[in-house]
Each structure stands twice: as C-alpha cells, then as structure tokens.
C-alpha cells in the first residue's frame, strides 16, 4: 500500500493494487502557534531580523533571508502559478511604450495624443535595453513583490544611459536612516552574508519623489554614481520588501493542493486497471481518529494510519472476506442535520474510466488564478459545471482580458516610473509615456484585433 501524506501526517492519497482512497474536504484549522510559524516563514516581521555589513544594517528578506529563492521554488513547481504570473507580466507590459505629447482632450474627456516631436525618446523606448528592462522588472515584481532597477549614468553624469534590473536573488535593502534614506547592497553571496569584498552598495532613490531626488543628487555632485529605483507593490503594506499577491493562495493551501494533483493522477493511471474500490474519507475523520496530539511526530502518525488502512484493505479483499461487512462510523451535524465524516465506498469496474474523475485540479487552479486576479476563462480554465462554472465563449474571454488591462494601470505606472525619471533627467520634461495594447474584437468589426494607446 502506498500513502501520500501531508506535512502533518494526514493521508491525501492511498493506493494499492485493489483500492483507491482519497481524503475529501479540508483540515478543520490550525492553531494560532502553527499559523504564526507558517506566516513567519514567508513574511517580514515587525521585529525584523538584520544582517550587518561594515556598518550597514540590512533587513533580511524573509526569516532566512532567502524569500526570492524560497518563492521561486514554489512558483516553478506549480504550473498554473508559473504560467499565470507570466501571463500577468505579458499583458501588463502590452506591446511596448509610445513617446507622445498630450495636445488636449476630446468631448468625452479622452486624451488627444500626438507623437513626441523629438525622436530620441522614442528611439530609447524602442531599444532592446528597454524591452529587456520591462521583461526583468516585471518578472521580479510579480514573482517576489518588488524589483530593483539600477540607473546607470554616463561618464560626466549629465545623462542616464541605461536601466539595469538587479536580480532579486542577489540584492538586499538596508534599514532607513533618520531621513528615510535606504541603501541597496548587491552580492552574489546572498542569502548568505557576504564578506567585506563581495558586495557593492548603491543609494536607493526616495519613493516620495525620485525625480526630485535625482536633481538633488546632480546638485550634490553625485550624478556620476549609479542609484537604485525600487519598484514595490504597496498592497502588502510592507515598505521594504513587498509581498507578492499570489502569497494568499499559498497561505490558504491551494498551491499545495494543485501540486498534489499530478501525483494523484499518476497513481490513478498506473493502478486504474486493477483497482476494485474507491474510498472517499473526510478530512475530519483523521483528525478525530488519529489526533496529532497523540503522536510525537508526523512519522508516528503516518505509521499508525498505514497500519489502519492495511486492516481496511484486508477486510475488503480476499475470498475469505467475500461477504464480510465493513463497518464505518459517521457523525451528524447538530447545526445542519447533515451527515459528516461518512465514508463513501464505490466499487470500480475493471474497465471503468472512473479514475479520470477521482481528482480534478480545476478548483485549485481557479483559486490560484483568482488570487492573481485572472479570470480563469482567459486561460481556458473555465469549468463546465459546478461552483466555478463559466462561459468560455469569445465575448467572455474578450471582456475578461479588457478588465485585466484596465486593472493593470497602477502596475504599468510603476514600471514607467524609472523610465520617466530617465527621460526627464535627460532633458525631456514634457514627454508623456503611453502603452500600446492589442484589443481583441469580434470578426464583424472587420478584424480579430485592433491597436490602441493607454
């Protein structure tokens, strides 16, 4: 018998040559102490941990100072989360940025845009280095919650000639001084503490007004030095290391469910020919039959549950047990009057394809996409029936995509801020930046797509 356990020793999938057993529902809850421990593994606390480097107090990114590395492992091992984040990055960036001037407004209040008369800003925006900037900044921003951008000056400090996105794996931010100033330390040694010769330090521009901060730096003679612009998602209220929006799906357990489904299906397809029974066991049964408090470790709990399920399998199978009854207990809710904790045992025909229906990842995938604020229908993830049912028709997909674009306005402005600092610092204060979008239309409009500026 093969049992796939959760981290707490609760069985998720139980398989043998003759039975499938699956745990249904979810855990009744975790203690405050466990919840606090879980949050601290992914969160920056008020009593922040620090690393000191030659007088610089760096704030640890996560408890082990390895949040980007920890988060990346979760993202790359969860297919819907990985593709969902890339989808967000791609539609947020649109089809490039357009340098223009706002010449007025029409009767509906829409901007009247004309091409910027000087071709240099558009040449910069159309260059590979800006496309590369968008790609890398969007990657770290959506995966980890923030992105660091190094503004590179020319030799005399009169122009900003490049935007270099710092890999989130290898930078950490200092605590703020009395004036609110921060330092960005870059080292390939992170998350370990680098030696005195293994890191570089840059000033971080003030969030309040980075353009003014650059003007002050030029006045103080610091124009030849690189500075770092931090792009942060302010939704988490974390001023230094913002939390990514997908973290809520992890804390709710949906990512663990989505990752366990492929393992389940592999076992289902491997054993579907010989399995005779499918047993569905409610989660609450394990909590009451084998409470965690009775065992010193999850391993001991796993062993006890394994022996119990061996007895269940032996009771179901074999010629001597052909008509032997199986007794299971159930509980009825005092509030709803409905049966809870009842086992459901279904006999599976030898050639049945019911194994295909034993598990579906659609609910977990939908919940992860909801956390990312993506309508599942846009990615073809709508379900034909049930709680997450949705119409996957063209109109629904087009409307969902338009909502995504409209909702991306704040993130888009965040990505434009370092470019705007560069453009204005270089002498083009009246240059406006707008995104190009591809808008899906119906065929009766004459084409399948059209372009617009936003």
Name which of 378, 420, 414 is nearest 138 in CA terms: 414
Position 378 in a domain: no
Instruction: End-to-end CA distance of the chain: give it in Å, rounded.
Output: 58
Mean pLDDT value across residues 368-373: 87
Res. 444: pLDDT tops 70: no
pTM over 0.75: no
More confident: 22 or 283? 283
Same-domain status, 358 and 445: no
**3-class state of residue 336 by DSSP:** coil
Q: How many CA atoms lie within 13 A of 238 on its CB side?
A: 25
> Which residue's structure tokens are 């008369």?
117
DSSP H helical segments within 170-230, as ranges? 210-219
14 bridge partner residues = 3, 21
Say if strands 200-204 and 227-232 run parallel, antiparallel, or are unpaired. parallel
Q: What is the spatial distance between Cα 5 and Cα 12, in angstroms, rounded to a whole number?
A: 6
Same-domain status, 218 and 285: no
Q: What is the pLDDT of residues 168-180, one digit of tens each?
A: 999 999 999 988 8
Mean pLDDT value across residues 414-422: 97
Same-domain status, 114 and 239: yes
Tokens of 26: 């979810």
More confident: 264 or 40? 264
Same-domain status, 357 and 229: no
Same-domain status, 115 and 261: no
Position 395 in a domain: no
Position 353 in a domain: yes
Q: What is the spatial distance between Cα 326 and Cα 305, in angstroms, rounded to a whole number?
A: 17
Residue 132: partners with Cβ closer than 8 Å, 6 or more residues away? 165
Res. 361: pLDDT tops 70: no
CB 146 within 8 A of CB 168: yes
Position 381 in a domain: no
- Apex CA 324: angle with CA 312 and CA 270, to 5°? 45
Residue 197: partners with Cβ closer than 8 Å, 6 or more residues away? none
Most confident of 235-239, 280-284, 441-445: 235-239
Q: What is the spatial distance between Cα 104 and Cα 181, in angstroms, rounded to a whole number?
A: 38
pLDDT number for residue 118:
96
Q: What is the spatial distance between Cα 168 and Cα 188, in angstroms, rounded to a whole number?
A: 11
Position 373 in a domain: no
Same-domain status, 109 and 238: yes
CB 115 within 8 A of CB 122: yes
Q: What is the pLDDT of residues 294-353, one digit of tens each?
A: 888 888 888 888 888 887 777 666 545 544 445 455 555 555 555 556 777 777 665 545
Band of pLDDT at residue 3, cut at 50, 70 and 90? confident
Domain of 341, in residue numbers: 2-30+256-362
Same-domain status, 312 and 429: no
Position 384 in a domain: no
Same-domain status, 356 and 334: yes
Domain C-terminal end among 362, 391, 426: 362
Same-domain status, 223 and 95: yes
Same-domain status, 109 and 206: yes
Position 383 in a domain: no
Residue 251: partners with Cβ closer than 8 Å, 6 or more residues away? 38, 39, 42
Q: What is the pLDDT of residues 31-75, one digit of tens each?
A: 555 555 455 455 444 445 777 787 888 999 988 889 999 999 999
Tokens of 109: 């209040």
Q: What is the spatial distance between Cα 77 and Cα 255, in angstroms, rounded to a whole number?
A: 10
Tokens of 420: 């705007």
Domain C-terminal end among 342, 362, 382: 362
Name which of 267, 246, 274, 453 is nearest 367 in CA terms: 246
Cα separations (Å) of 28 from 24, 261, 283, 407? 12, 21, 8, 35
Domain C-terminal end among 330, 362, 394: 362
> Which residue's structure tokens are 């979008």?
437
The total number of structural domains in the chain stands at: 2
More confident: 263 or 157? 157
Mean pLDDT value across residues 190-194: 90
Q: Is 341 left (phi over 0), alpha (psi -120 to 50) or beta?
A: left
Tokens of 51: 């690393």
Same-domain status, 142 and 98: yes
Q: What is the pLDDT of residues 223-255, one digit of tens each?
A: 999 999 999 998 988 889 999 999 999 988 888
- % of the chain residues with pLDDT over 70: 72
Mean pLDDT value across residues 98-127: 93
Cα separations (Å) of 416 from 111, 200, 233, 423? 18, 26, 14, 10
Strands (E), 283-383: 331-332, 339-340, 344-347
Q: Which helix (H) or strand (E) holds 251?
A: helix 247-251
- Apex CA 200: angle with CA 232 and CA 63, to 5°? 50
Same-domain status, 355 and 315: yes
**3-class state of residue 255 by DSSP:** helix
For residue 380, how many other CB atoms are within 10 A of its CB? Answer: 8
């Amino acid at each position: 018998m093969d049992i796939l356990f959760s981290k707490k020793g609760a069985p998720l999938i139980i398989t043998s040559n003759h039975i499938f057993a699956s745990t249904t529902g979810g855990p009744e809850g975790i203690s405050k102490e466990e919840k606090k421990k879980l949050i601290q593994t992914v969160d920056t606390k008020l009593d922040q941990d620090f690393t000191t480097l030659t007088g610089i107090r760096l704030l640890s990114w996560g408890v082990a100072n390895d949040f980007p590395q920890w988060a990346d492992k979760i993202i790359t091992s969860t297919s819907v989360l990985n593709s969902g984040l890339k989808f967000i990055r791609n539609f947020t960036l649109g089809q490039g940025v357009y340098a223009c001037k706002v010449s007025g407004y029409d009767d509906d209040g829409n901007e009247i845009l004309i091409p910027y008369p000087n071709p240099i800003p558009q040449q910069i925006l159309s260059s590979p280095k800006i496309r590369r900037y968008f790609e890398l900044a969007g990657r770290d921003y959506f995966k980890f919650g923030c992105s660091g951008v190094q503004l590179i000056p020319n030799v005399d400090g009169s122009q900003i000639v490049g935007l270099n996105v710092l890999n989130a794996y290898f930078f950490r931010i200092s605590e703020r001084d009395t004036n609110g100033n921060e330092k960005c330390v870059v080292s390939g040694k992170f998350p370990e503490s680098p030696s005195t010769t293994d890191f570089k330090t840059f000033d971080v521009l003030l969030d309040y007004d980075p353009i003014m901060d650059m003007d002050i730096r030029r006045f103080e003679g610091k124009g030849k030095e690189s500075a770092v612009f931090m792009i942060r998602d302010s939704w988490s209220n974390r001023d230094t290391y913002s939390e990514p929006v997908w973290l809520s799906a992890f804390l709710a357990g949906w990512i663990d469910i989505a990752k366990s489904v492929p393992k389940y299906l592999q076992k289902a397809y491997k054993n579907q020919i010989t399995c005779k029974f499918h047993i569905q066991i409610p989660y609450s049964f394990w909590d009451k039959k084998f409470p965690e408090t009775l065992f010193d470790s999850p391993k001991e709990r796993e062993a006890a549950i394994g022996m119990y399920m061996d007895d269940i399998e032996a009771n179901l199978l074999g010629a001597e047990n052909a008509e032997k009854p199986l007794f299971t207990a159930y509980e009825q809710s005092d509030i709803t009057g409905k049966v809870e904790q009842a086992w459901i045992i279904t006999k599976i025909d030898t050639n049945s394809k019911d194994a295909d229906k034993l598990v579906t990842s659609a609910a977990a995938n939908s919940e992860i996409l909801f956390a990312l604020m993506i309508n599942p229908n846009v990615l073809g993830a709508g379900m034909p029936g049930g709680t997450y049912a949705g119409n996957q028709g063209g109109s629904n997909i087009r409307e969902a995509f338009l909502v995504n674009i409209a909702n991306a306005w704040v993130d888009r402005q965040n990505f434009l801020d370092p470019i705007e600092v560069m453009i204005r610092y270089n002498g083009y204060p009246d240059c406006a930046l707008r995104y190009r979008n591809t808008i899906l239309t119906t065929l009766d409009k004459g084409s399948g797509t059209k372009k617009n500026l936003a």
